[in-house]
Amino acid sequence: MTTSAASLPSALRPRQVLSWFGVAPFFLFALLFLILPTLNIVVGAFRNAAGEATLENLGKLLSPSIRSAFWISIELSLLTAVLGCLFGFLIAAAITLGGLPRPLRNAILTFSGVASNFAGVPLAFAFIATLGRLGFVTMLLRHWFGINLYGSGFNIVSFLGLALTYLYFQIPLMVLIITPALEGLRREWREAAESLGASGFQYWRLVALPVLWPSLLGTLALLFANAFGAVATAIALTGSSLSIAPIVLFAQIRGDVLNDPHLGYAIAFAMIVLTAIANGIYILLRMRAERWVK
Amino acid sequence: MTGKRLWSWLAVVLGGLYFLLPLAGMVDFSLRMQRDGYSFGAYRIVLTDAQFQQTFGYSVGLALLTIVLGILIVVPTAYFVRLRFPGLRPIVEFITLLPLVIPPIVIVFGYIRIYNTSSVLPLTGSWWGTNILVLFGYAVLSLPYMYRSVDTGLRTIDIASLTEAAQSLGAGWARILAVVILPNVFVSVLSGAFLTFAIVIGEYVFAALLNVNSFGPYMVWMGGNRAYEPSALAVVAFAITWACMGLIQLFTRFSKFSTVRR
């Protein structure tokens, strides 16, 4: 099959046909294991058990328990996205513009690469070992500073605990994405602004932030989607005691706890819609950002 | 200037505290199994646990197969899209980004609905079928990383000239891909591969919902039933992530010196 095509005298057609065989496995693979399964869920969200078209499933999303699960999820994702952006930006600004030694910058970027991938079950264990009832920091605070963390109402198995844990992969992701953007800020812009008499604050407000804001907002959207889809960390940390949307869906798939498979479709569909919107914003703003930062 | 540097140090030190304390906590907790001081007891129990060896070995095998499958799917596609179908590029790129948009839990939900025992292709019904499903699922998860790194690798070489040269010497497509293109993008392929390894090795959602006994579900089970062993597992997992990222850095740095600048 392969040698015959090469020996054909530059005939375009058989060559082109053969090239199609090169990309066909990819499309078949994407269709079978990515697109069809997702479409199945989307279509299922608009069908009832008898296979008729309906909006009933989506309506059930508004029931108090599901609605509150989504609401907690959105709050958690938004909070960790905003804080992740803020702290990530501060660290990225410190290592790019803060005049710190160069090796430190490289070390932080490498560590960010590791930490942004250190999500899931092990991350949850690390936080339980640190801020759990007998955790490292909990004990440290009690023995050295006399602070009783759990006495003050803190619990790692809570919204706050989950948010603290999520930040461990959110902040590094922000550092990784925003550092190149900050390095793209040209020195001439700052010099030009200063020669026109701008203060540091004015430079940031009128020059740097307008250039950076598509990157900032775009990354915010990306971090939102990143937190929203995270399931393993939440399950390993809280079991199923904190009812967030992905955990509700996980329980539904595992044991049909809602007694209604089509409600599962609707939850999954709503999750796709939310992450798709967030990612759409990211891609759109990223394209705008690339106009300035080269 | 000094004020700015002070603030920068403050940000880095506070950030360092937040990022290093959980690692310290994890290591500290993993060593505390015996009451009278530090010991490697938790590691000894974990590493000699037959369940650990079995699930970990299984996940390593699965990760390696995922990498092979990913290379087989991504390299020809990226190559032909660059060489023959530049028009397909936006579509292919869009598809490879989809796994970042659609939450993994939704994808695996779709698998369970499409490939269940009462469907045309009842993959979830048999041991082989389930494994194939997990394997292809992981290949989907690794698609964004694999495609990006291979495509970036292809950008740095002149594939049109290489292809023509190989063809004029009588090589067919399979041979061109395996002997000419793959070695040239090997470093890029490797960085995609290590990232894939880091993602697959502790993956939980696919494995748990498809009832596969891999390392991820084993870790969660340990988390629910033991006190000190989970921390030892977390240390192991963190070391693997470090190793993967470190190897990526090493290979990309190595490649900077070895490739000819054009």
Lowest average pLDDT, out of A188-192, A264-268, B49-53, B59-63, goes to A188-192
Mutate to test the interface with A, among B1, B120, B241, B251 (most CBs of A within 10 A): B241
Q: What is the pLDDT of residue B24?
A: 92
Q: What is the pLDDT of residue B258?
A: 53
pLDDT tens by residue, A189-232: 888 888 888 887 888 888 888 888 888 888 898 899 889 988 89
Distance from CA of B233 to the nearest CA of A (A): 7
Which ipTM score applies to this complex? 0.86
pLDDT exceeds 90 at position B173: no
Cβ A57 vs Cβ A46: under 8 Å: yes
CATH of domain A64-292: 1.10.3720.10
Q: What is the pLDDT of residue B262?
A: 42
* Distances from the Cα of B188 to the Cα of B182, B193, B257, angstroms: 10, 9, 14
Lowest average pLDDT, out of A75-79, A101-105, B18-22, B56-60, goes to A101-105
Nearest-by-CA chain A residue for B89: A23
Mutate to test the interface with A, among B69, B71, B138, B173 (most CBs of A within 10 A): B173
| CB within 8 Å: B198 and A117 | yes
Mean pLDDT over A248-264 rounds to 79
Phi, psi of A157, deg, nearest 5: -85, 70
| CB within 8 Å: A229 and B92 | no
In a domain, B224, yes or no: yes
Nearest to B44 by CA among B229, B222, B217, B216: B229
Q: Give Dmax (Cα) for chain B.
A: 73
Of B199, B237, B249, the CB nearest to A122: B237
pLDDT tens by residue, B109-136: 999 988 987 777 788 878 888 999 999 9
Cβ A77 vs Cβ A71: under 8 Å: no
Lowest average pLDDT, out of A87-101, B118-132, B243-257, goes to B243-257
pLDDT exceeds 80 at position A10: no
Of A108, A235, A268, the CB nearest to B109: A268
Q: What are A53's strand-pairing partners?
A: A47
Whole domain around residue B117: which residue ranges?
50-257
- Rounded distance, CA B92 to CA B88, Å? 6
From chain A, the residues in CB contact with B76 under 8 A are 22-23, 25-26
In a domain, B9, yes or no: no
- Rounded distance, CA A90 to CA B9, Å? 11
Distance from CA of B244 to the nearest CA of A (A): 9
H helix count then E strand count, chain A: 15, 0
- Rounded distance, CA B217 to CA B203, Å? 8
Residue B247 class from Cβ within 10 Å (0-12 exposed, 13-18 middle, 19+ buried)?
Answer: middle
Q: Where are the domains of chain A?
A: 64-292
Query: What is the three-class DSSP state of B155?
Result: helix
**CB distance from A31 to chain B under 8 Å?**
no
Nearest to A30 by CA among B202, B98, B221: B98
The total number of residues written for chain B in this structure: 262
Q: What is the pLDDT of residue B2?
A: 67
- Rounded distance, CA A53 to CA B199, Å? 38
Distance from CA of A39 to the nearest CA of B (A): 8
B182-197 burial code (b ≥16 CB/10 A, e <16): bebbebbbbbbbbbbb
Number of domains in chain B: 1
| CB within 8 Å: B76 and A41 | no
| CB within 8 Å: A22 and B11 | no
Phi, psi of A53, deg, nearest 5: -70, 135
Cβ A290 vs Cβ A265: under 8 Å: no
Q: What is the pLDDT of residue B261?
A: 45
Q: What is the pLDDT of residue B108?
A: 93
Neighbours of A73 (CB within 10 A): 24
In a domain, B158, yes or no: yes
Residue B105 class from Cβ within 10 Å (0-12 exposed, 13-18 middle, 19+ buried)?
Answer: buried
Distance from CA of B168 to the nearest CA of A (A): 8
Share of chain A above pLDDT 90, in %: 26
Instruction: Report which DSSP code applies to B180.
Output: I
- Rounded distance, CA B160 to CA B151, Å? 14
Q: Give Dmax (Cα) for chain A.
A: 84
From chain A, the residues in CB contact with B172 under 8 A are 1-6
> What CATH number does residue B229 fall under?
1.10.3720.10
Residue with tokens 């509700």: A248
Of A3, A16, A26, the CB nearest to B172: A3
Across chain B, mean pLDDT equals 88
Of A37, A110, A113, the CB nearest to B110: A37
From chain B, the residues in CB contact with A44 under 8 A are 113
What string of DSSP letters covers B63-95?
Answer: HHHHHHHHHHHHHHHHHHHHHT-GGGHHHHHHH
pLDDT exceeds 80 at position B246: yes
Of B11, B113, B205, the CB nearest to A40: B113
Instruction: Report which DSSP code applies to B173.
Output: H
pLDDT tens by residue, A31-71: 999 999 999 999 988 888 777 888 878 888 888 888 999 99
In a domain, B262, yes or no: no
Across chain A, mean pLDDT equals 84
Cβ A17 vs Cβ B80: under 8 Å: no
Interface size between A and B, measured as CB pairs under 8 A? 275
